[in-house]
Structure 1
Amino acid sequence: MYTPPAYAEKDEPLLRARMRAWSFATLVTHGAQGLNATHLPFLVDEEGGPHGLLTTHLARGNAQYHDLKAGAPALVIFQGPHAFISPSWYANRLTFPTWNYTAIHVQGTPEVVEDVAAIHAVLTRTVATYDTPLGGEWTFEGVPTDHTASRLRAIAAVRIPIARIEGKMKLNQDKSVADRLGVIAALEAQGDAQSLAVAALIRQQPDLAPA
C-alpha cells in the first residue's frame, strides 16, 4: 500500500483496535483460478502471530477455500471511514480536492481449521463478539443438533497469524491546524456517519486534541 510518511500509522495496539472496529474486512488470495476475494467478519487477537492473529470462517463451497487449503498467502484489507475533502474548506485554498480515508492491510499465511469442535468454538466466539453485545439471545443450544452439525460440515475456520501489518490514516496530517479545523467543521456540518467519523479521527490528532 502506498503510504507517504505523514499518513503512516505504526502504533500496532491502535491498529488492532481499529481492525476490531472495522472488522468486516476483505480477504484476498491468488490461487490456481486467479484472484479471489471474500468479505468476512474477523476476530482480532493480540497473540498468535508476530503481530497478532486473525480468525474467521467461510463456506467450503467458496473457491477461495481451495486457495487457503493450498497455503496461498493472504491479504486482508480493513477499510475505515472515508470522505471527499473540498479545498474550499481550507484556510489555504491554493491546493486541490482530495479524499481522506483509513485502511489497514494485513498479510499472513492462512491455516485452515477443519476440526468440528474448533469450528464450533470459532462460531461461538463470533456470536459472542457480534450478537451478544446487541442484546441477542440466540445460542447454538437453541438449534437442533443435526441442523448445527450440517452447518459445521459446510464451513471451515481460518486462522491467519499476522506476518505484516500496514496502517494508512490519510487525515490531512500534512495540512495546517487552520486547514484541518476547517475540514472538521465542514464534515460535521454534513452530518452523515462517514463524515462524522472522519472528523472525529482528525480531532484525535495530538495538535488538535483538547489540552
Structure 2
Amino acid sequence: MYDLPYHKEPNEQIIKEFVNQYPFAFLMGCDSKNRPISTQVPIFMEEKDGRKTLTGHIMKNTDHHKAFLQNSNVLVVFNGKHTYVSGTWYSDPYTASTWNYMSVHARGSIRFLEGAALEDMLRKTSLHFEKNNTASTTIFDNLPKKFKQLVMNAIVAFEIDVQEIDNVFKLSQDRDAQSYHNIIDKLKEQDEDARIIAHEMEKRTKELFH
C-alpha cells in the first residue's frame, strides 16, 4: 500500500468505524508452496485485553482453509468507496489523473475455532446483518437444530491476532485548495460512490485548509 503520510488517517476511531461499515473484506494468504490464496468474507474487529482481533468464518476444506492451516500468516483488506479523479479538475489541468479511495490493511496470525466458539460467531453474524431482529427466521438461534448441525459441520470460525494495521485514505489531501474544492464539486455530479468520496473530502476541508 502507498506509505505517504498525507494519505493516512491518524484517528483510530475513524478507522474502527470504517472497518465496521465495510466488513466484507478480502482474507488473503499463501499456502505451503507460496501460492497466493484469497477469499471474501464478513469480518469483525474486536478488542480483547488491549489487543485487536478479527473474527469471522469460512467453509472447511476449501483451498483457502487448507492454505491457512499450512501458513497462518494472513492479510485482511477492508475496502470502502472509490472513484476516478480527472486531472482536468485540478488548477493545473496538465496533470495525471488519479483514483481516490479508502482502504485498511490488517496483518496477523489466524487460528480456527469450532464448537461453542463457532456457534457464537454464527449468532453474532446473523444478528449483526439482521440488525438485531431476534424474531428473524434466519437468526442462528431460530434455525432448526438439524439444519444448524449440518451447517456447522461444513464451516469453521476463525480468530486473527492483529499484529499490524495500516490504512490509506487517499482523498486528494496533497492538492491545493482550488483543486480540492473543484474535485469535490465534480464528484458530487457523479455516481453514488463518487458522492460519498466527496462527502469524506468535505469532512476534512477545515483540517487541510485553515
Provide the C-alpha distance between the structure 1 equivalents of 2:29 and 2:49, rounded to a whole number of angstroms.
21
In the alignment, the residues of structure 2 paired with residue 92 and residue 145 of structure 1 have an alpha-carbon distance, to the nearest angstrom, of 65
Distance 2:58 2:65 in 1: 7
Matched, 1:39 2:40: yes
Alignment-mate amino acid for residue 35 of structure 1: P
Q: Which residue of 1 aligns with 2:173?
A: 173
**Percent same amino acid among aligned pairs?**
25
Unaligned runs of 5+ in 2: none
Aligned to 2:148: 148
1:96-139 deviation line (CA, Å, top 9, x unaligned): 2111111111000011112x221011011011111125897232
Contact 2:90–2:179 under 8 Å retained in 1: yes
Mapping for residues 93-132 of structure 1, pairs under 5 Å: 93-114=93-114, 116-132=115-131
Q: In structure 1, list runs of 5 or more residues that go unmatched.
A: none
What code does the residue aligned with 1:203 have? E
- The question of whether the paired residues in 2 share the 8 Å contact of 1:71 and 1:111 is answered with no
Which range moved further: 20-29 or 70-79? 70-79
| TM-score calculated relative to the size of structure 1 | 0.90
* RMSD across aligned positions (CA): 2.2
Within 5 Å, give how 1:178-197 maps onto structure 2: 178-190=178-190, 192-197=191-196
Deviation at residue 71 of structure 1 after TM alignment: 4.4
1:11 deviation in Å?
2.4
- Offset of 1:68 from its aligned partner? 2.4
1:60-80 Cα deviation digits (max 9, x unpaired)? 031111222234200001111
Structure 1 residue 20, shift from structure 2 partner = 0.9
- Change in 2 beyond 3 A, CA 1:148/1:202: same
Query: Alignment partner of 1:124: what SS?
Result: helix
CA distance in 2, matches of 1:201, 1:63: 37
Contact 1:6 1:173 in 2 (8 A): yes
* Structure 1 pair 206–188 and aligned structure 2 pair: CA distance change class (3 A): closer
**8 Å CA contact retained: 1:78, 1:104:** yes
3-state SS in 1 of match to 2:206 = coil
Partner Cα distance (2:152, 2:60) in 1: 10
Asked if 1 retains the 8 angstrom alpha-carbon contact of 2:56 and 2:121, the reply is yes
Of 58-67 and 179-188, deviating more is 58-67
Q: CA separation in 2, counterparts of 1:134 and 1:143? A: 14
Q: Retained in 1: the 8 A contact 2:88–2:94?
A: no
CA deviation string 1:157-193 (max 9, x = no partner): 0111211000101110000121111111111111x22
1:36–1:63 CA contact under 8 A, matched in 2 = yes
Give the secondary-structure state (helix, strand or coil) at the position aligned to 1:37: strand
Q: Distance in 2 between matches of 1:179 and 1:80?
A: 23
